[in-house]
Structure 1
Amino acid sequence: MKLEQLLERLEYTCVQGSLDREISGIANDSRQVVPGTLFFSIRGAVTDGHTYAAEVAEKGAVALLVEEPVEVPESVTVIQVKDTRYAMALVSAAWYDYPAEKLKVIGITGTKGKTTTTYMIKSILESAGHKVGLIGTIETIIGETHIPSSNTTPESVKIQEYFHRMLEDGCDMAVMEVSSQGLMLNRTAGIPFEIGIFTNIEPDHIGPAEHKSFEDYMHCKGLLFRQCRIGIVNGDDEHLDQVLAGHTCKVETFGLSEKNDLRAENLKMVHKPGYLGISYHAAGMIDMDVEIDIPGKFSVYNSLAAIAVCLHFKVREADIKTALKQAKVKGRVELVKVSDDFTLMIDYAHNAMSLESLLTTLREYEPGRLVCLFGCGGNRSKARRFEMAEVSGRLADFTIITSDNPRFEKPEDILDDIESGIKKTDGKYVKIADRKEAIRYAILHGQPGDVIVLAGKGHEDYQEIEGKKYHMDERELIQEILEEENLR
């Protein structure tokens, strides 16, 4: 493809060389450069792509996209732009022939609920006959292909590649999680979102490597609503006005209060042996009863967002009901049947805020006992250990302290830190360093009416120890334990 064609939607200055160049590949990683490549000089948190200019030129890059002057041979074309990340997003879209314009793209942003909502939407739309690709925190799904994720919202080059592959696979729709970081770093620039969804917002992701303040965090979340045609938003969130500031889309609201366009009424907790769910009546934009196999009030909000989206695509009420019952998310309040006497689940809650939200939700089901098994990652903030310990000690009836990803720390040292935090509460606990043995203890000591949550690992299928990732999937551990104890 010609360089000039790739730059067609950009404002730029050609400071060196010719635009009449044939480009055979695009890259923002110097290790991926081969002869004929257009290289994006991205200024990242760790490295600055401008410092690799001479190296990539030597490898055969024929053009560089930069923000500042670089020294390369005269044979290399140098294009200067105001923001190379923004330019990379638009050039990547051009490289793949603007695939997002041939899909209906739905983007979901918010502090919590993004992952579950994406899977709910995918489930409903597919029940109505659409073929839907997904990009999210856990994985990217393109047909039968599942690609593990390293970022909630990948770099723009990867997003456009995924959209292109979705089209090739026959998808007509794409649903994706859109993080505040992704919006701030222009990873989604140039994508014409058909619908943008706002789930909720709480002070999170604030720090030197993320957002400088809560106001900045809200502003970045709100950027999605300057880039979508329809905004479907949580009308009950107290920060909604700040998030929507400057929006350019049509807005619809969902929630529990009467003011919302789509609302949930008559919420009922559904609690049976080995099962937790919630039911409600959806009113306003639709009139129907709903039951979800994912517990908690937050599941109501997530499902309302999904319903609101699918109403725009004329999905039948029966399809919505069936799909919501079937929607499951790996590692998000994921129920695993082990007994008719008690309920066991796996959840990704790995900080104090998410653990408090989860345990508070489970308390609403009035369990015989609420049992929480968790650990904390090594080589991370010690404050998280004390905070999570305090939450579990305060909200759970019994805590099983165990290992998570110890990394380069001794698991026993991490457990000691957690123990010192839990001792500040009245909570009962036991320490078992080996995670499989800790899960075995939880299952063998389960009592009628218990709700047991294995927190922290969620969808992860590994344990990180001294620089290596070892396979460890809690679902497999549970099945192994049931077989070893003759409980199947």
Structure 2
Amino acid sequence: MTLQELLASLDKVLSEGDLQPEVLSVTEDSRQVKPGSVFVAIKGEHYDGHQFVKQAQEQGAVGVVVEDFETHDPLVGDSTALIRVKNSRKALGLLAAKLSGMPSAHLHMVGVTGTNGKTTVTHLAKSLLEAQGHRVGLLGTIGYVFGTEHRVASHTTPASVELQDMLKAMVNAELDVAVMEVSSHALALDRIAGCEFDIVVFTNLTQDHLDFHHTLDDYFQAKLRLFTECVDSGQKTRPKRALVNADDERAPLILQHCSIPTWTYGLHAHADIRAESVHLSMGGTEFLVSSPHGPLTIKSQLVGEHNVSNMLAAIGIGLEMGMTVPMIEQAVQSVANVPGRFERINEGQPFTVVVDYAHTEDALYRLLRAAKAITEGRIITVFGCGGDRDAGKRPKMGQVAARHSDVVIVTSDNPRTENPHTILTQIEQGIQSLLPEERCSYQIIADRAEAIHAAVSEAKDGDLLLIAGKGHEDYQILGTQKIHFDDREEARKAIHRQMDSR
């Protein structure tokens, strides 16, 4: 593909130089530039790609894409074409998609966004659609899975070039569906530019990532883009659908602005796909569903009311994809668990241990509410908050944990470059802001392994121990170092230590 053919994917381009060379790759990383590359200069959080334009040219780039019109003339010769655009981040995604053959046009694209629930909804959707006979790729927090390949996730939603490469790999492997978690960062940073979605889902919106978005409205506006900019008709002619959680207060805004047909789903509000007669237990969940395609009877191994909402979203995806009611009922029942999402650790102990990814105020509240509905014993909660992230949620999470638990142990999550004790103090401030009669007993143990072992030692017959915040993660970030650490492994060690000592 020539540079001129590649640039046809962009609007309002100003270009200088030879546009006839063949393009072999597109990259925003100057270190990856080689002869035949197009280098896209992006202003990042720590570096400005415009500073590396000359380096890219020297390494053989056939073109450089810039958005900074005010900088010095970036080219010192005429061997590299200069392309000026308004938004180089968006250009990167569009160019990568074009060079990869517009892979999203050859896939049924399902995108799920929201603060909580994305991972569970996407895993459920993958299971349902595979039961229907589809070959499904999955991109999300837990990993990137397509065909026989399973990669560790660098982001919830991959970066632009990596995303298009993986979608192309799905097409080449003859997959026909891609199910993706679409993060607010990916939307705000145009990582999914060049993707056209067929089904999009909004799960909910609560406080998170305000270190990046600054305000809750900015956070919402980023989410909204999935329903306005990423579903517009391009090369696809098949029907499209948006699924919106009617129980979330922002649902009306999404319905108002969404440019494709919608279904709502929910437990409490009037909805097109609605759960009724919900029965929750430690063994699973049962409920009835009214839907545009008739009633369903759901029996699931997943636990908690929040998972009822997640299942409704996945059911909506299945219905839109043409699944029959019996097929959906059977497929939902077959899903045992999603890694790190209310994942039960059973080593024969007389109490329940659950590991969950809940790392926001709302997710922790939902987790504790689910726990309270299915246990008669005490609830012991171990949690912390990540460093270098939204600090405003720390005292709020402390309040939620202290209000709805019987015992709380505050510990480190991923402190990153922050002082762990600063984070713990901010969490404790939230707990201390409650009246004594409003909060449970608590202690602070900075070392996460020690905290888990202390919680297991505290647990008695019939109690439920929740270890929240990290879920599926098998690492902990201390400073700039990533060390191996898995809540599930640590819980099993603690359980066996306690059982051996009896």
Query: Normalised by the size of structure 1, how large is the TM-score?
Result: 0.91
Q: CA deviation at 1:419?
A: 4.7
1:455 corresponds to: 468
Q: What value does the CA root-mean-square deviation take over the aligned residues?
A: 2.5
Q: CA deviation at 1:410?
A: 6.0
Q: Which range moves more in the overlay, 436-445 or 456-465?
A: 436-445
Count of residue pairs the alignment pairs up: 482
* Alpha-carbon displacement from aligned partner over 1:258-287 (angstroms, at most 9, x marks no partner): 74221111011113xxx4x32210113332
Aligned partner of 2:241 among 211, 230, 243 = 230
1:97 corresponds to: 101
Task: Report the secondary structure of 1:453's partner residue.
Answer: strand
Residue 436 and residue 144 in structure 1: after superposition, are their counterparts in 2 closer, same or farther (change >3 A)? farther
1:266 corresponds to: 277
Measure, in 2, the Cα distance between the counterparts of 1:56 and 1:369: 60
1:23 corresponds to: 23
* Alpha-carbon displacement from aligned partner over 1:190-216 (angstroms, at most 9, x marks no partner): 322111111122344345x325x4333
Q: CA deviation at 1:327?
A: 4.9
Residue 487 and residue 380 in structure 1: after superposition, are their counterparts in 2 closer, same or farther (change >3 A)? same
Is the CA contact 2:399–2:431 (under 8 Å) kept in the aligned structure 1? yes
Measure, in 2, the Cα distance between the counterparts of 1:63 and 1:116: 42
2:487 corresponds to: 474
For structure 2, the 5+ residue unaligned runs are: 232-239
Is the CA contact 2:208–2:360 (under 8 Å) kept in the aligned structure 1? no
Q: Does 1:346 align with 2:374?
A: no
Task: Report the secondary structure of 1:118's partner residue.
Answer: helix
Task: Report the secondary structure of 1:245's partner residue.
Answer: helix
Q: CA deviation at 1:65?
A: 1.3
Written as runs of structure 1 = structure 2, the 5 A alignment for 1:112-127 is 112-127=116-131
Measure, in 2, the Cα distance between the counterparts of 1:420 and 1:216: 27
Report the AA paired with residue 388 of structure 1.
Answer: M
Q: CA deviation at 1:337?
A: 1.6
Q: CA deviation at 1:180?
A: 2.6
Task: Report the secondary structure of 2:213's partner residue.
Answer: coil
Report the AA paired with residue 45 of structure 1.
Answer: E
Report the AA paired with residue 24 of structure 1.
Answer: L
Task: Report the secondary structure of 1:345's partner residue.
Answer: strand
* Alpha-carbon displacement from aligned partner over 1:295-347 (angstroms, at most 9, x marks no partner): 22221111111111111223243442333231522222222223463221111
Q: Does 1:278 align with 2:289?
A: no
Query: Normalised by the size of structure 2, how large is the TM-score?
Result: 0.88
Measure, in 1, the Cα distance between the counterparts of 2:207 and 2:450: 36
Q: Which range moves more in the overlay, 151-160 or 20-29?
A: 151-160
Aligned partner of 2:216 among 214, 221, 236 = 214
Task: Report the secondary structure of 1:303's partner residue.
Answer: helix
Task: Report the secondary structure of 2:104's partner residue.
Answer: helix
Q: CA deviation at 1:76?
A: 0.9
Q: Does 1:241 align with 2:252?
A: yes
* Alpha-carbon displacement from aligned partner over 1:37-62 (angstroms, at most 9, x marks no partner): 10111122322212211111112111
Q: Which range moves more in the overlay, 8-17 or 408-417?
A: 408-417
Report the AA paired with residue 107 of structure 1.
Answer: G
Q: Which range moves more in the overlay, 368-377 or 143-152?
A: 143-152
1:308 corresponds to: 316
Task: Report the secondary structure of 2:374's partner residue.
Answer: coil
Q: CA deviation at 1:20?
A: 0.5
Is the CA contact 2:27–2:92 (under 8 Å) kept in the aligned structure 1? no
Measure, in 1, the Cα distance between the counterparts of 2:359 and 2:421: 18
* Alpha-carbon displacement from aligned partner over 1:396-452 (angstroms, at most 9, x marks no partner): 100123333344566566556655554454421234443333323323332232121
Q: Does 1:405 align with 2:414?
A: yes
Residue 95 and residue 409 in structure 1: after superposition, are their counterparts in 2 closer, same or farther (change >3 A)? closer
1:63 corresponds to: 63
Is the CA contact 1:222–1:245 (under 8 Å) kept in the aligned structure 2? no
Q: Does 1:375 align with 2:378?
A: no
Is the CA contact 1:110–1:201 (under 8 Å) kept in the aligned structure 2? yes
Q: CA deviation at 1:485?
A: 4.4
Measure, in 2, the Cα distance between the counterparts of 1:417 and 1:258: 35
